[in-house]
């Protein structure tokens, strides 16, 4: 569940919350796909910016790595501090996912 960045976007609240999704599942128990949604809800985390970041986090968990923090800020007390997509503060390790759009000549220069 992606958290918006109020200084960069015109909103401060996410489009959905886990509790709201749980309520929707309870209200529509016979809707197609609700069982898969219920299972996926357990794997959802607040803070992922994209599906590839989520896929990476799940792959790390499948590899038996500990659950990483999402949007890990270098200085957690500074809202403008640079952040990594995910990582482990206690191991001083940050992971940044940059997909194919970041491989263009303009992005690399």
**Residue 6 falls inside a structural domain:** no
**Residue 13 falls inside a structural domain:** no
**Residue 74 falls inside a structural domain:** yes
pLDDT band at 16 (very low <50, low <70, confident <90, very high): confident
**Residue 2 falls inside a structural domain:** no
Q: Are 68 and 60 in contact (CB under 8 A)?
A: yes
Residue 57: predicted pLDDT: 96
Q: What is the average pLDDT score of the chain?
A: 89
- Cα dist from 21 to 7, 9, 53, 67, whole Å: 26, 23, 20, 22
Task: Tell me the per-residue pLDDT of 36-84, one tens digit each, with 9 for 90 and over.
Answer: 999 999 999 988 888 899 999 999 999 999 999 999 999 999 988 999 9
The token duo for 65 is 């790595």
**What's the domain range around 95?**
18-108
């Amino acid at each position: 569940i992606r958290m918006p960045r109020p200084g960069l976007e015109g909103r401060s609240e996410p489009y959905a919350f886990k509790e709201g999704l749980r309520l929707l599942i309870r209200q529509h128990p016979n809707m197609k796909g609700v069982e898969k949604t219920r299972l996926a809800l357990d794997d959802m985390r607040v803070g992922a910016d994209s599906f590839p970041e989520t896929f990476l986090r799940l792959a790390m968990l499948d590899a038996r790595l500990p659950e990483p923090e999402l949007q890990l800020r270098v200085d957690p007390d500074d809202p403008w501090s640079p952040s990594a997509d995910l990582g482990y503060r206690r191991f001083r390790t940050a992971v940044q996912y940059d997909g194919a759009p970041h491989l263009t000549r303009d992005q690399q220069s």
